[in-house]
């Protein structure tokens, strides 16, 4: 029992991450905003707003709305609340100063600040000044509730951070474990270390496959395609192929010690390739992945502190499960060799 | 509970069952369903669990075969 404490830890961490990952609500936000007018400078116009997890009705008394252009706010003259997630905003005639796009902001004490970047487009030429500049009274921009950040396009699928990303962390951890065992083999030529390395590569590839499939699904719903020409995607595909080649290479050598030596050396190169392809190149090139090619990672988002413990628990939990499975495979292999 | 209800409704509407909604709800449903926001999380979670369990079952079968071999080896 006590010897297996880390297995229990892994199960607990995974249980926590799945529960917290699904049970925590998403922060309120604006899903869509539709303007009634093509030309916003001619006459008054309305903007129909659809919110998600918002409480327009409950917060009706303190609900403010304004449009931003070139950092200048224009307040709604009236906020007409239909229900919790539906409101009609009445605006005075507004001409754009900088670009023909307005950012919509709403604020209430309970929901905090809701922002929709470039929500409204206008056909007006960008020349005239703003007609009415106001000063929205926002006491605090803090959102005082426990929720995951509302991200445009991502929405609820932000929870995939706890499912898709840990697969890759588990794969990289297992490949690192394999590399460590390869080094240990090369120090004393003890064949057991070679077996450990081999088994953990096999499990790493399972996690890699799961990462690819789940990533593909997520890409379909947020980027619009099952596979996009992204540095990170192609890099991981090459990494997986090079480790598949490792398995093929092993099968092609008969002598046990020779096979162990050749594959240990090969896997060192494959590991370095993986670091370059997954870790380095996506940061130098443009990539759709957060944290790469100038894209902000999730850690840059303000409400990320609610996600961080859940994410780390999921990563650690899956790494433990991966090491556990590779240990079982190794023990099975020992047993088989002892009896044949 | 409200979340769960929304989820069920989303899943049902995703399968194309006729579902009476007011026009304003429709907008939200369309956006979330169009991006399959919550569905994609569920499908991803199910896929990972299915993948891991499939792998474990295969491992289990391998182990059973191995046990059989070991037991037969003992007898002879």
- CATH code for position A96: 2.60.40.10
* Helix/strand/coil (H/E/C) assignment for every residue in chain A: CHHHHHHHHHHHHHHHHHHHHHHCCECCEEEEEEECCCCCCCCCEEEEEEEECCCCCCCHHHCEEEEEECCEEEECCEEEEEECCEEEEEECCCCCCCCCEEEEEEEECCCEEEEEEEEEECCCCCCCCCCCCCCCCCCCCCCCCCCECCCCCCHHHHHHHHCHHHHHHHHHHHHHHHHHHHHHHHHHCCHHHHHHHHHHHHHHHHHHHHHHHHHHHHHHHHCCCCCCCCHHHHHHHHHHHHHHHHHHHHHCCCCHHHHHHHHHHHHHHHHHHHHHHHHHHHHHCCCCCCCCCCCCCHHHCHHHHHCHHHHHHHHHHHHHHHHHHHHHHHHHHHHHHHCC
Same domain, A185 and A334: yes
Same domain, A107 and A227: no
- Cross-chain Cβ contact B40/A160 below 8 Å: yes
Question: Which among B5, B9, B3, B31 is positioned nearest to A24, based on CA atoms?
Answer: B3
Query: Does this complex have an ipTM over 0.90?
Result: no
> Within a domain: residue B57?
yes
Same domain, A116 and A163: no
Same domain, B29 and B51: no
Q: Does B47 touch chain A (CB under 8 A)?
A: yes
- Cross-chain Cβ contact A157/B31 below 8 Å: no
Q: Considering only A128-142, A180-194, A323-337, which range has the smallest mean pLDDT? A: A128-142
Split into its structural domains, chain A has a count of: 2
Instruction: Find the mean pLDDT for residues A261-275.
Output: 94
User: Mean of the per-residue pLDDT values for chain A?
Assistant: 87
Buried b / exposed e over A170-188, threshold 16 CB at 10 Å, is bbbbbbbbbbebbebbbee
Q: Does A146 touch chain B (CB under 8 A)?
A: no
Chain A residues whose CB is inside 8 A of the B32 CB are 31, 52, 155-156
Instruction: Find the mean pLDDT for residues B9-33.
Output: 50
Residue A155: which of B35, B43, B59 has the nearest Cβ? B35
- Residue A279 CA to residue A284 CA, distance in Å, equals 10
- Residue A297 CA to residue B51 CA, distance in Å, equals 27
Same domain, A78 and A200: no
Tell me which chain A residue has its CA closest to the CA of residue B51. A210
Instruction: Write down the pLDDT at residue B51.
Output: 93
Pairing mode of beta strands A112-121, A72-75: unpaired
Instruction: Write down the pLDDT at residue B1.
Output: 47
Same domain, B31 and B50: no
Same domain, B55 and B25: no
> Within a domain: residue A277?
yes
Asked if the model's pLDDT at residue B54 lies above 80, the reply is: yes
Instruction: Write down the pLDDT at residue A153.
Output: 81
Instruction: Find the mean pLDDT for residues A12-33.
Output: 90
Chain B residues whose CB is inside 8 A of the A328 CB are 59
Instruction: Write down the pLDDT at residue A294.
Output: 56
Q: Does B48 touch chain A (CB under 8 A)?
A: yes
Same domain, B31 and B3: yes
Q: Considering only A8-12, A145-149, A236-240, A299-303, which range has the smallest mean pLDDT? A: A299-303
| H/E element, B29 | helix B23-34
Split into its structural domains, chain B has a count of: 2
Instruction: Find the mean pLDDT for residues A182-187.
Output: 95
Task: Determine the structural domain holding residue A326 and report its residue range.
Answer: 155-338
Instruction: Write down the pLDDT at residue B14.
Output: 47
Same domain, B11 and B30: yes
DSSP one-letter code for B2: H
- Residue A69 CA to residue A309 CA, distance in Å, equals 37
> Within a domain: residue B40?
no
Chain B residues whose CB is inside 8 A of the A164 CB are 44
Instruction: Write down the pLDDT at residue A245.
Output: 95
Q: What residues contact residue B71 under an 8 Å CB cut-off, 6+ apart?
A: none
Q: Does B41 touch chain A (CB under 8 A)?
A: yes
Same domain, A91 and A175: no
Chain A residues whose CB is inside 8 A of the B63 CB are 332
Asked if the model's pLDDT at residue B32 lies above 60, the reply is: no
* Helix/strand/coil (H/E/C) assignment for every residue in B31-75: HHHHCCHHHHHHHHHHHHHHHHHHHHHHHHHHHHHHHHHHHHHHH
Same domain, B30 and B49: no
> Within a domain: residue A175?
yes
- Cross-chain Cβ contact B27/A332 below 8 Å: no
Residue A335: which of B41, B48, B66 has the nearest Cβ? B66
Q: What is the pLDDT of residues A212-265, one digit of tens each?
A: 999 999 998 888 888 988 888 899 999 999 999 999 999 999 999 999 999 999
- Residue finishing a domain among A100, A121, A142: A121
Asked if the model's pLDDT at residue A268 lies above 80, the reply is: yes
Task: Determine the structural domain holding residue B2 and report its residue range.
Answer: 1-35
Same domain, A165 and A298: yes
Q: Does A337 touch chain B (CB under 8 A)?
A: no
SS3 B19: coil
- Contact (CB, 8 A) for A93 and A76: no
Asked if the model's pLDDT at residue A118 lies above 60, the reply is: yes
Asked if the model's pLDDT at residue A57 lies above 80, the reply is: yes
pLDDT confidence bin for A15, thresholds 50/70/90: very high
Same domain, A159 and A299: yes
Instruction: Find the mean pLDDT for residues B59-69.
Output: 89
Asked if the model's pLDDT at residue A144 lies above 70, the reply is: no
pLDDT confidence bin for A17, thresholds 50/70/90: very high
pLDDT > 90 fraction of chain A, expressed in percent and rounded: 46
Quickly tell me which residue has 């999921």 as its tokens. Answer: A314
- Cross-chain Cβ contact B37/A156 below 8 Å: yes
Q: What is the pLDDT of residues A283-336, one digit of tens each?
A: 777 777 876 655 555 554 544 678 888 999 999 999 999 999 999 999 999 988
- Contact (CB, 8 A) for A122 and A100: yes
> Within a domain: residue B21?
yes
Question: Which among A138, A68, A132, A70 is positioned nearest to A109, based on CA atoms?
Answer: A138
Q: Which is more confidently placed, A96 or B9?
A: A96
Chain A residues whose CB is inside 8 A of the B38 CB are 155-157
- Residue finishing a domain among A121, A143, A172: A121
Same domain, A98 and A162: no
Same domain, B26 and B56: no
> Within a domain: residue A22?
no
Instruction: Write down the pLDDT at residue A68.
Output: 86
Asked if the model's pLDDT at residue B19 lies above 50, the reply is: no
Q: Which of B6, B29, B45, B65 to mutate to test the interface with A (most CBs of A within 10 A)?
A: B45
Residue A69: alpha-carbon gap to chain centroid: 30
Same domain, A197 and A114: no
| CA max distance for chain A | 88
Instruction: Find the mean pLDDT for residues B42-51.
Output: 91
């Amino acid at each position: 029992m006590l010897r297996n404490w880390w297995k229990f830890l892994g199960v607990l961490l995974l249980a926590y991450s799945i529960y917290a990952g699904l049970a925590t609500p998403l922060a309120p936000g604006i899903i869509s905003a539709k303007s009634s007018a093509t030309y916003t400078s001619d006459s008054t116009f309305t903007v129909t707003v659809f919110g998600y997890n918002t409480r327009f009705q409950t917060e009706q008394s303190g609900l403010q709305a304004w449009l931003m252009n070139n950092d200048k706010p224009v307040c709604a003259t009236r906020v007409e609340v239909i229900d919790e997630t539906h409101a009609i905003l009445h605006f005075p005639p507004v001409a754009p100063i900088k670009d023909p796009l307005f950012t919509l902001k709403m604020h209430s004490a309970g929901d905090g600040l809701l922002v929709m970047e470039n929500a409204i487009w206008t056909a007006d030429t960008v020349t005239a000044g703003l007609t009415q500049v106001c000063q929205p009274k926002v006491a605090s921009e803090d959102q005082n509730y426990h929720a995951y950040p509302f991200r445009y396009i991502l929405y609820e699928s932000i929870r995939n951070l706890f499912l898709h990303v840990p697969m890759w962390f588990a794969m990289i951890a297992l490949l690192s474990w394999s590399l460590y065992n390869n080094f240990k083999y090369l120090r004393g030529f003890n064949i057991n270390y070679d077996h450990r390395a081999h088994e953990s590569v096999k499990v790493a590839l399972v996690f890699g496959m799961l990462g690819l499939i789940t990533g593909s699904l997520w890409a379909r719903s947020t980027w619009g395609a099952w596979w996009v020409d992204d540095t990170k995607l192609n890099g991981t595909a090459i990494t997986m192929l090079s480790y598949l080649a490792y398995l093929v290479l092993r099968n092609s050598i008969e002598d046990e010690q020779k096979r162990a030596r050749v594959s240990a050396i090969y896997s060192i190169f494959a590991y370095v390739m993986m670091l370059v392809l997954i870790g380095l190149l996506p940061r130098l090139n443009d990539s759709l992945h957060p944290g790469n090619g100038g894209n902000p990672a999730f850690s840059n988002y303000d409400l990320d502190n609610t996600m961080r413990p859940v994410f780390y628990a999921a990563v650690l939990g899956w790494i433990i499960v991966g090491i556990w499975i590779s240990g079982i495979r190794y023990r099975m292999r020992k047993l088989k060799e002892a009896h044949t | 509970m409200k979340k769960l209800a929304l989820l069920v409704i989303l899943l049902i509407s995703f399968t194309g069952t006729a579902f009476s909604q007011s026009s304003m709800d429709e907008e939200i449903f369309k956006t979330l369903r169009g991006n399959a926001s919550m569905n994609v999380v569920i499908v991803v979670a199910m896929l990972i669990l299915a993948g891991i369990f499939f792998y474990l079952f295969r491992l289990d079968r391998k182990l059973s075969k191995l046990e059989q071999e070991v037991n037969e080896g003992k007898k002879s």
